[in-house]
Amino acid sequence: MTITEDTAQDYLIPDKIAQHAVLPASYADETSITYPAYEWLRKNNPLGLAKLDNFDPLWLVTKHHDLLEVERQPDLFTSGVLNPILNDQPSDAFVRSLTGGSYRAMDVLVYMDPPEHTKVRAVANKWFMPRNIRRFEGQMRELARQAVDRVLANDGECDFVKDFALGYPLHVIMTLFGVPEQDEPIMLQLTQEFFGVHDDELGPQVAPEPDAAARAFAAATEGFFAYFSALNADRRANPTDDLLSLIANSEIDGQPISEGYANGWYIAIATAGHDTTSSTISGAALELAKRPDQLAKVRADPALIPRLIEESLRWVSPVKHFMRAASRDTDLRGRRIKEGDRLMLLYASANRDEEVFDHADQFDIERDVRHVAFGAGPHACVGMHVVRLEMKVLFEELLPRIKGIELTGEPRWLKTNFVGGLRSMPVKLIKA
């Protein structure tokens, strides 16, 4: 690490605040721990340096403007040199022991820089554009209707996360993808192991070794590869019109896509494609439970549904961070960032930036949102149009059928600084 003591001193973040903004455990109590830490940082040290035991030093990017500055300059702030996902040092060392020194745990887009990134993204980028995604609205609506029917079949008492929000996005993405329905539980388990490596209830049970998180991540990755290799071979031999077939039979530089790149696409879609969306749906429901006036407004005027979706994305920001590394010395917000320095992009903080959002800490479905929940620049979320359509369809099916959401227990959040949101939320849905 090139950050030197003397350049860094002014910018050091107090230990407690750094722990609250960075470590997975604090995210289980995001309202009283993580968000106040973000707010403190935005006010007092908006681009500060966190120095935590077992972690490389990290610049915490908390402001909307700075986050966009970083994301839009992939040559200056790279994804492919150091790990784009935050690991502690023992976990990074473990990954590097598996890869012969590289931080790249798998051939997934988030680990790449242009021009490699551009070529690999082009494999399915068009498929994810609105014109193509719109074809699936009917299928999504059918899945949404079934999910709503199921959850309202009894008296409306349920765990909104486990009994409703987790299932629908998983079902949608696996249907688009072409994964057989009976394999969806395998996908859910692997995804939860993948994202839940720091969560003692959700993640795999691991011994408290220093590199335990990386070992668990590697095991989940192996599980995905084993599963998808067989499907990849099948779609090469018997192509259909699903997304799996498109990827399996694509070319990069005039050559059939390598198994590594194909697996990278599969794992990205299988993991990024549903937990993110289900966390957003659950987070929206929690706010609508707390704010019956907002629920009444959107029920009365369904044209507000797109705004509800964007505000929920801002509010939940289910992707908590990605990392970048400076490729050369540069200045940002008056700080000297040195070549090799690591920056942690805190999407949820940028989405509460008081300079960009009026009354940023209030959920308001009527605001015109310019959130960064999907990131920006060349790595901006490839699945954003899927998310918008599947959430629109879901709310169009759900909202006319419920007139209230009553919390019947304490909502609980996941312990994760990467992808997640609510773990559980007991509610009674009051039927219309």
- Using CB under 6 A as the criterion, what x/- string covers residues 157-176 for binding ligand HEM? ----------------x---
For residues 74 and 357, what is the distance between their CA atoms, to the nearest angstrom? 26
For residues 367 and 311, what is the distance between their CA atoms, to the nearest angstrom? 7
β-pair type (342-346, 58-61): parallel
Which residues 1-40 are close enough to bind ligand HEM by CB under 6 A?
Answer: none
At its nearest, how many Å lie between ligand HEM and the CB of residue 57?
Answer: 21
> Which of 8, 262 has the CB closer to ligand HEM?
262
- Coil, helix or strand for 307? helix
For residues 184 and 227, what is the distance between their CA atoms, to the nearest angstrom? 12
Q: Is 67 in contact with 372 (CB distance < 8 Å)? A: yes
Q: Interacting stretch for ligand HEM, rule CB under 6 A, among 41-49, 288-296, 368-376, 422-430? A: 368-376
Q: Is 425 in contact with 159 (CB distance < 8 Å)? A: yes
Candidates 167, 178, 318, 426: give the one binding ligand HEM (CB under 6 A).
318
Which residues 370-409 are close enough to bind ligand HEM by CB under 6 A?
Answer: 373-377, 379-383, 386-387
| 247: contact with ligand HEM by CB under 6 A | no
Q: Which residues contact 241 (CB under 8 A, 6 or more apart)?
A: none
At its nearest, how many Å lie between ligand HEM and the CB of residue 64?
Answer: 13
- Using CB under 6 A as the criterion, what x/- string covers residues 91-110 for binding ligand HEM? ------------------xx
At its nearest, how many Å lie between ligand HEM and the CB of residue 431?
Answer: 27
Distances (CA, A) of 9 to 6, 295, 336: 6, 48, 12
For residues 279 and 395, what is the distance between their CA atoms, to the nearest angstrom? 14
Which residues 217-236 are close enough to bind ligand HEM by CB under 6 A?
Answer: none
Q: Which residues contact 46 (CB under 8 A, 6 or more apart)?
A: 62, 63, 66, 333
Q: Is 344 in contact with 323 (CB distance < 8 Å)? A: yes
For residues 236 and 246, what is the distance between their CA atoms, to the nearest angstrom? 9
Q: Interacting stretch for ligand HEM, rule CB under 6 A, among 93-101, 311-319, 335-343, 409-417? A: 311-319
> Which of 40, 77 has the CB closer to ligand HEM?
77
| 276: contact with ligand HEM by CB under 6 A | yes
Candidates 46, 74, 80, 273: give the one binding ligand HEM (CB under 6 A).
273
Q: What does residue 284 show for φ and ψ, rounded to 5 degrees?
A: -65, -45
Residues that bind ligand HEM (CB under 6 A): 71, 109-110, 121, 173, 268-269, 272-273, 276-277, 280, 313, 318-319, 322, 347, 373-377, 379-383, 386-387
